[in-house]
């Protein structure tokens, strides 16, 4: 699973490169060349040229709205001030207490908020 | 005995904390926010009336002006009665419980009482609120099944939003009362 260059990856990359250039040239042909010329060549089954302008506009408006949408989704998923998620969560509730050993670093655990408050705000 | 100290709220508004000790196990802490300012009231009223006058000049309909006066009056009454909180107070009675009172500008008071058996602790918690991280005082309610767990969080002082220095004072006062119940249960 390393990101090193491999022959298969080089082939995929080149195929994608050619494919995207082909798609771009096709889009330009569809958007700019008049319909009558394309009909005279026998290519009649194209989508309406309206979409050659509409789709990029749709994409850009979607990108702009995506900023606002992401901001809104973030605000919606923030826990409200009265939820217990601001204090604890499933992992902290199920944690096991390791035995205290002399001369050893204490095991990592989630300290309850009452204890943290006493340490910070009640200096003895 | 009562003492009053000035602090600042989360948005920078000046607030005042008043502490009263009624007895050894009963304390009242009241946080008073700023009163409704005349300048903000006149600014809002002039803005609404100028907008209504602009609409009247465009539409030549005099109902717009009377509607604006109505909206201003009704809006002011609704604001004073439902939105503007003048004082939030906390009454901690050691053996009985905690009472939270909000007094509105129109004189309305809404109270909540939490009995001491349900109270696990009163702590200062920090959380994200509207693109800011704020400290707020909250009551942790005990979970009946799990003695270590918290069933509910009741945030206090939601509209005056005192800053950390004021919260530490309130926290210390509350903890002095709450410690008495653990010493009382250990001795009895």
Residues B133-143, mean pLDDT to the nearest whole number = 93
**Quick check: B10 contacting A, CB < 8 Å?**
no
Residues B42 and B17 in one domain: no
- Return the CATH number at B32: 2.30.29
Write down the pLDDT at residue A98: 76
User: Total structural domains in chain B?
Assistant: 2
Write down the pLDDT at residue B183: 80
Listed residue (B90, B75, B86) closest to B108, CA to CA: B86
A86 closest CB neighbour out of B151, B153, B175: B153
Q: Of B82, B109, B137, which residue constitutes the final position of a domain?
A: B82
Residues B114 and B158 in one domain: yes
Q: What is the mean pLDDT of each run of 10 residues along chain A (124 residues)?
A: 87 96 94 87 84 94 97 93 90 80 82 92 85
The token pair that represents B137 in the structure block: 């005082």
Contacts of B127 in chain A (CB under 8 A): 79, 81, 86
Q: How far is A23 from chain B (nearest CA, A)?
A: 43
User: Total structural domains in chain A?
Assistant: 1
What distance in Å separates the CA atoms of residue A62 and residue A118, rounded to the nearest whole number? 49
Q: What is the pLDDT of residues B53-107, one digit of tens each?
A: 999 999 888 888 999 999 999 999 999 999 999 999 999 998 899 999 999 999 9
Q: How far is B167 from chain A (nearest CA, A)?
A: 10
User: pLDDT-based confidence at B44, cuts 50/70/90?
Assistant: very high
Residues B163-169, mean pLDDT to the nearest whole number = 93
Write down the pLDDT at residue B164: 93
Q: How far is B40 from chain A (nearest CA, A)?
A: 29
SS (H, E, C) B130-162: CCEEEEEEEEEEECCCCCCCEEEEEECCCCCCE
What distance in Å separates the CA atoms of residue B119 and residue B140, rounded to the nearest whole number? 6
pTM for the complete prediction? Answer: 0.81
* Residue A18 covered by a domain: yes
Q: What share of chain B is helix, strand, coil (3-state, %, to 5)?
A: 35, 40, 25
Residues B146 and B97 in one domain: yes
Give the angle A81-A85-A88 at the CA atoms, nearest 5°.
Answer: 125
Q: Domain range for residue A38?
A: 7-80
Q: Domain range for residue B75?
A: 38-82
The token pair that represents B126 in the structure block: 């920090």
DSSP assignment, residue A106? P
Write down the pLDDT at residue B144: 87
**Quick check: B120 contacting A, CB < 8 Å?**
yes
* Residue A102 covered by a domain: no
The token pair that represents B104 in the structure block: 């509105």
Residues B182 and B98 in one domain: yes
* Residue A85 covered by a domain: no
DSSP assignment, residue B107? S
* Residue A71 covered by a domain: yes
φ and ψ at A4, to 5 degrees? -70, 150
Nearest CA in chain B to A112: B148
What distance in Å separates the CA atoms of residue A16 and residue A79, rounded to the nearest whole number? 43
Write down the pLDDT at residue B181: 83
User: Is A82's CB within 8 Å of B155's CB?
Assistant: yes
State what percent of residues in chain B have pLDDT above 70: 98
Is the ipTM higher than 0.85? The answer is: no
User: Is B154's CB within 8 Å of A114's CB?
Assistant: no
Which residues of chain A have a Cβ shorter than 8 Å from any chain B Cβ?
A: 75, 78-79, 81-84, 86-88, 93, 112-114, 117-118, 120-122
Write down the pLDDT at residue A34: 87
Residues B24-46, mean pLDDT to the nearest whole number = 92
- List the single range of B37-41, B101-105, B144-148 with lowest mean pLDDT: B144-148
Kindly tell me if the per-residue pLDDT of B14 is higher than 80. yes
């Amino acid at each position: 699973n390393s990101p090193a260059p491999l022959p298969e990856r080089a082939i995929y990359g080149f195929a994608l490169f050619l494919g995207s250039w082909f798609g771009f040239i096709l889009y330009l042909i569809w958007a700019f060349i008049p319909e009558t010329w394309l009909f005279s060549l026998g290519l009649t089954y194209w989508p309406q040229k309206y979409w050659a302008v509409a789709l990029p506009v749709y994409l850009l408006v979607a990108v702009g709205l995506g900023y606002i949408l992401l901001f809104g989704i973030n605000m919606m998923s923030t826990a409200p001030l009265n939820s217990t998620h601001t204090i604890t969560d499933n992992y902290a509730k199920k944690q096991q207490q390791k035995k205290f050993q002399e001369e050893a670093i204490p095991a990592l655990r989630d300290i309850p908020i009452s204890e943290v408050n006493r340490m910070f705000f009640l200096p003895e | 005995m009562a003492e009053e100290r000035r602090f600042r709220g989360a948005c920078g508004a000046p607030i005042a904390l008043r502490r009263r000790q009624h007895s050894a196990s009963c304390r009242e802490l009241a946080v008073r926010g700023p009163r409704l300012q005349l300048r903000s009231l006149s600014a809002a009223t002039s803005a609404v009336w100028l907008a209504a006058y602009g609409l009247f000049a465009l539409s030549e309909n005099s109902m717009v002006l009377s509607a604006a006066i109505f909206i201003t009056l009704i809006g002011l009454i609704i604001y004073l009665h439902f939105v503007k909180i003048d004082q939030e107070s906390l009454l901690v009675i050691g053996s009985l419980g905690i009472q939270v009172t909000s007094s509105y500008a129109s004189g309305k008071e809404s109270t909540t009482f939490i009995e001491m058996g349900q109270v696990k602790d009163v702590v200062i918690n920090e959380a994200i609120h509207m693109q800011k991280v704020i400290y707020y005082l909250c009551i942790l309610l005990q979970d009946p099944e799990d003695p270590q767990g918290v069933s509910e969080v009741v945030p206090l002082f939601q509209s005056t939003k005192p800053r950390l220095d004021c919260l530490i004072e309130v926290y210390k006062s509350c903890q002095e009362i709450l410690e008495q119940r653990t010493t009382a249960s250990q001795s009895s």
